[in-house]
Chain A
Amino acid sequence: MSTTNTTPALEVRHLTVSYRNRPVLGDLSLPPLLPGQLVALVGPNATGKSTLLRALARLVPASGQARWDGQDLLAMPAAALARTIGYMPQSLPETAALNVLEVTLTAMQARALPAREEELAAMAVLERLGIDDLAMRRLDQLSGGQRQVAALAQAIARDSPILLLDEPTSALDLRHQWRVMDTVRRLADGGHLVITVLHDLALAAQWADHILVIHRGRLHACGTPQAAITPEMLRTVYGVEARVQHCERGRTMVLIDGPAEAPPA
């Protein structure tokens, strides 16, 4: 996989998604997103972050352009798309009588590997995420957090150049949050383009190269964490008065003082 940071990889232009004639994403264009980048999608609830991921994974009908290295993601054959994009929805169902290894293997069908190679690759992913001890446990025997890491294993196991993760840390304790974000960071450093929805701005600022602030279906701001996470953005987008402190080693603290006088724009 290419690890160059000079060639634009994922280009999204004028992407529009509507549910029942109500636009959820309106004419959304993004700066070129590159292999090797970890991109955090942030913004209030119901502003279109998950919809953007679902549109790129072609799970909702969308118009506009989404191209990866010149190939049209919106028109690519399904199997080729599955090899290009690893999508992780918010949680795994607990009712399926499958164990974690089986769930991971199921996600790998588009890779069409020989059985033994597929099993080794799946096991390697579980080890990388630190859930190899859960490999033979069934989904209904896992906690919500463990299921979430298993879901991440499914996305990673496909070894696709683009990873789209929908709130991969939302049900995790601090230790697992760190482990997941560290794994995601390493994947990006290894040449994947990782786009992840995060609600925790401190986590986004700590790990992401770029922040995309989505507000009401449009790109409100983008840039490095220092550039994108500002008191003004928090007031306009989230409707809160807050202080932002950028500490050493790229850490950012967001201290909420209370609701802004004016509601979000």
Chain B
Amino acid sequence: MAPRLSSVGSIGMVIGRRALSGFVTLLGVSVLIFVAIHLTPGSYEQVVLGPRATPEARAQLAVQYGLDDPLPVQYGKWLGQAAQGDLGISLITQAPVLDEFVRRMPVTLELAIMALVIAFIFGVPLALVSGLAGGRRAARHGTRVVGALAMSVPDFVLACILVYLFSRSQWFFTVGDFAPLGEDPVANFRAMFLPALTLSVFGIALIARTGRDAVQAVTQALYVTAAVAAGESRWQIIRRHILRNAAIPVLTVTATFAGYILGGAVIVETLYGIPGVGLYVFNGISSRDYTVVQAGVLLAAAIFIAINILTDVLYGVLDPRIGSRRARG
């Protein structure tokens, strides 16, 4: 048995295997989205030319962009280009879609990271406090009510309330005055905080609830009793035993939350006017900009798959029992 060596090897294996199946998933997603967007009522020609255009004008436009080809042919062309890294040009702006994504990606990434950080800053202490409170009813019911509320308020409702409050007042945080991080970090933070907070609320509740249950379960484990018997202090027990063991289920919901951020970013960026990928895709959907939507969904799927692979790897790191199960086969 050489657990260390083989577990390193197995992580590589896991990534490889998951990347392969992820690629297949991605192909499936691309077919689905291709079909879905073309089945949506209202085609590109109708949206661009408006309801009063002649059928001839519409047909001409369709020919120009190859939209008159049968769907499988269109899909085949698009896939071939995508495989070469060419995601096409926006049907509306005529700008290459890939460039636009690359330009907007950092904004969305910043938003997602901020939301994750906020979710952890509030979620983890809440989980610990209520998990360790054990039988104390106030703490138990407190987190349950707050958690249920936070999980069931839709992000667009919360966003509307915050936009209303902060656009009519001067409370440091701003709505709609986006400034790039590189140019004015303070203004950027003031503009990004509210959207990130909106996105994080679901995560706070998710982490607090799952974490509380995990902490409670770990507190009752025999190895915690053994730590008490060994004379370890409360803080030593939390730091040495509870945090890491309770982190395993929290990791699962964090992955779920990261997936949620992907979708939430579209809504939140739109409502707050943050020029990220989400807003771009949203505009693409409204104007039937097929290439933009296809690329956007494909990108989201790819990120989601990557998150899942990362989560799987982290499982093995956090929980050695999973790591060595993989090593054995």
Query: Are A and B subunits of one complex?
Result: no
Q: Which A residues are closer than 8 A to B by beta carbons?
A: none
Q: Which B residues are closer than 8 A to A by beta carbons?
A: none
